[in-house]
Amino acid sequence: MASSTSLLRLHPHDNVAVAKEYLPEGEAVLSGDKTVVPLAAIPQGHKVAIAAIDQGAPIVKYGQTIGYAGGNINVGDWVHVHNVEATKPGLDYAFSTELHEPPRPATERCFDGYRRPNGSAGTRNYVAVISTVNCSATTARYVAKELTETDLSAYPNIDGVVAFVHKEGCALAFNSEDHKQLNRTMAGFAKHPNIVACLVLGLGCETAQAAVLERDHGLVQLGGIRKTDEPPPMVLNIQEVGGVRKTVEKAVGVLRDLLPLANDVAREPIPISELKIAMECGGSDGNSGITANPAVGVASDLLVAHGATTILSETTELYGAEHLLTRRAITPEVGEQLLERIRWWEDYAGRYDASIDNNPSVGNKNGGLTTIFEKSLGAVSKGGTSPLRAVYQYAEPITEKGFVIMDSPGFDPASITGKVASGAQVVVFTTGRGSCFGCKPSPTIKVATNTPMFNRMKDDMDINAGVILDGSSTEEVGEQIFERIIATASGQQTLSEAQGIGDEEFCPWFPGPIF
């Protein structure tokens, strides 16, 4: 008989347990003092019934309903998409009833970062070329490529020259919500503390006019390195300059003159209270809500205790767990703001004859996640236990300290792009299936949910939270993540950075129509 450590029951009210390892059909295992004989082979991270569940009765994990039995389920049955109906449970909303402030530490912690002239704090030192529209994307890439190949080796304090390009920027209504959101996103990158200098390139006739972006978002400080009242122009349009080649030459000339200033920086101690940390999960599996996500939640609470900001997003992956967050909302108004976003997503999905419970993905299901509600209950644990202080629109500048939410889709590149645009200087990304995401200008720390994947993808995973399944405490791994965040903010490379990943991941979200 396998030991009782082969099954993990997460809450006394659960009628399913999670397989910590592959369980062969017919080999008895223990769940507490109860013997369970799997009636089918149970993959690692998947669920097995530890009590009989009648058709239509709730499937309970984390002490919460994650779906309903599609038929009678016997003790030992594999519980997954073949016998679970993804019907949203009725949720009991309460507001501001579970407010637990983390205790302030006795000693202030610092990271070694870049203090910008405008007072912001950076963890990296990039030069950026931002394309306002797909039509100027190639030109932006040419500028970054030429500077990287001809100049950058002489400036060791510059982390790189990055072209932030996307596929949109035209065929949308001028001054529409999509237009404003795109401008917020591009401005958030242009003014980001991890970017020391930036040039915006447009074609000239697009809807997303570079001059409007410059006017509405005050992009006149060229990344904060020029202290003069009249800095050089930040915007170039290909049609005005006279074509692609001339624009590349002019843009390279403008940025080349700035490289010595961009390189003239030194790290200095900065309180970690000035950090904003983006928290993300992608390629999730049945272990995500057991190991990596709760460990990130521990790190989040530690950061909040030090006065920092932690950012949860992916609203569609909070769906079904939002009632846990409204209880932590600092005011009922903040809780209502979250519910308004949930209702918006329900309406948005309905307009396209879709439903939010189309999530989890194929990979999520292969990893043991059955319904969006199960996935959400695990995802929300990244936010720890601290009070929810604010709910922000996508790419809206985040000014609140503490734990906050930014509205975004569950698509990782779009979600992280929004959080970086909102000001996040470091990203913490948990994954069970093995996401290879990286991000510029904000370094991405990858946290593996299980040891087999960590060992298989050691070149991509920075931290193994799978040790929690082997007996390490969630608190211990959370403290490890906390320390890695400080080290990364201070300049330690992540594995995605070491591989040069992050140039292709800029992905603004466009929820509206294209004309």
Residues 81 and 132 both lie in one domain: no
- Residues 433 and 293 occupy one common structural domain: yes
Extract the tokens encoding 309.
Answer: 């900001």
Q: Helix 244-263 to helix 137-150 angle, to the nearest 10 degrees?
A: 50
- Residue 125's pLDDT is 98
- pLDDT (tens digit per residue) in 299-312: 999 999 999 999 99
pTM for the predicted model, two decimal places:
0.95
> Could you tell me if residue 268 is inside a domain?
no
Average pLDDT of the segment spanning 345-350: 94
Residue 464 included in any domain: yes
Calculate mean pLDDT across residues 485-505. Answer: 97
70-76 average pLDDT score = 97
pLDDT tens readout for residues 83-134 = 999 988 889 899 999 999 888 898 999 999 999 999 999 999 999 999 999 9
Query: CA–CA separation, 214 vs 235, rounded Å?
Result: 8
pLDDT in tens, 462-491: 999 999 999 999 999 999 999 999 999 999
Q: Are residues 319 and 448 in the same domain?
A: yes
164, amino acid identity: F
Residues 72 and 137 in one domain: no
What 3-state class would DSSP assign to 55? coil
Residues 253 and 301 in one domain: no
Average pLDDT for the chain: 94
CA distance 335 to 331: 7
Is 106 part of a structural domain of the chain? no
- Tell me the sheet residues that pair with 426: 277
- What is the reported pLDDT for 1? 43
pLDDT of 221: 45
CB-count burial class (<10 Å; 0-12, 13-18, 19+) for 148: middle
Q: Are residue 243 and residue 333 in the same domain, yes or no?
A: no
Residues 6+ apart with CB under 8 A from 359: 316, 317, 372, 375, 410
Phi, psi of 58, deg, nearest 5: -70, 145
- Per residue in 380-394, is it b (16+ CB within 10 Å) or e — as a string? bbbbbbbbbbbbbbb
**Most confident of the ranges 100-104, 360-364, 403-407:** 403-407
Other Cβ atoms less than 10 A from the Cβ of 217: the count is 16
Check whether residue 427 and residue 374 sit in a common domain: yes
Boundary residue ending a domain (228, 263, 298): 263
Amino acid at 411: F
pLDDT for the residue numbered 222: 47
* 452, 270 Cβ separation under 8 angstroms: no
419-455 pLDDT, tens digit per residue, is 999 999 999 999 999 999 999 999 999 999 999 999 9
Around Cβ 24, how many Cβ atoms within 10 Å?
A: 11
Query: Is it true that the peptide bond before 387 is cis, omega within 30 degrees of 0?
Result: no
Kindly tell me the sign of the dihedral angle through the C-alpha atoms of 165, 167, 171, 173: negative
Domain match, 451 and 363 both: yes
Looking at residues 123-151, what average pLDDT do you find?
97
Enclosing domain of residue 142? 126-263
Q: Is 467 in the same domain as 348?
A: yes
Which of 66, 85, 104 is the C-terminal boundary of a domain?
Answer: 85
Counted domains in the chain: 3
Residue 104 lies in a domain: no
What's the CATH code of the domain at 46? 2.30.130.110
pLDDT of 223 reads 44
pLDDT in tens, 233-280: 589 999 999 999 999 999 999 999 999 999 999 999 999 999 999 999
CATH number at residue 175: 3.40.50
Number of residues written out for the chain: 515
Go through 32-56 and write b for each residue having 16 or more CB atoms within 10 A of its CB, e for each that does not. eeeebebbbebbbbbbbbbbebeee
Cα→Cα distances 13→29, 75, 178, 470, Å: 19, 15, 44, 23
Q: Check residue 6 and give its pLDDT.
A: 87
Same-domain pairing of 292 and 242? no
257: number of Cβ within 10 Å: 11
Residue 402 counted as domain residue: yes
DSSP 8-state secondary structure symbol assigned to residue 159: -
What does the alpha-carbon distance between residue 10 and residue 63 come to, in Å, rounded to a whole number?
A: 8
Q: Is 319 a member of any domain?
A: yes
Average pLDDT (56-84) is: 96
504 occurs within a structural domain: no
Residues 461, 313: one domain? yes
- Asked whether the predicted pLDDT for residue 61 surpasses 70, the reply is yes
Q: Is residue 117 part of a domain?
A: no
- Tell whether the model's pLDDT for residue 401 goes beyond 90: yes
Side-chain-side CA neighbours of residue 69 (13 Å): 21
Asked whether the predicted pLDDT for residue 358 surpasses 90, the reply is no
Residue 459, both tokens: 């070149």
Phi then psi dihedrals of residue 216, to 5 deg? -75, -20
Parallel, antiparallel, or unpaired: how do β-strands 276-281 and 235-237 relate?
Answer: unpaired
Asked if residues 265 and 115 have their Cβ atoms less than 8 Å apart, the reply is no
Average pLDDT for 377-386: 97
Same domain, 370 and 439: yes
| pLDDT at residue 229, rounded to an integer | 47
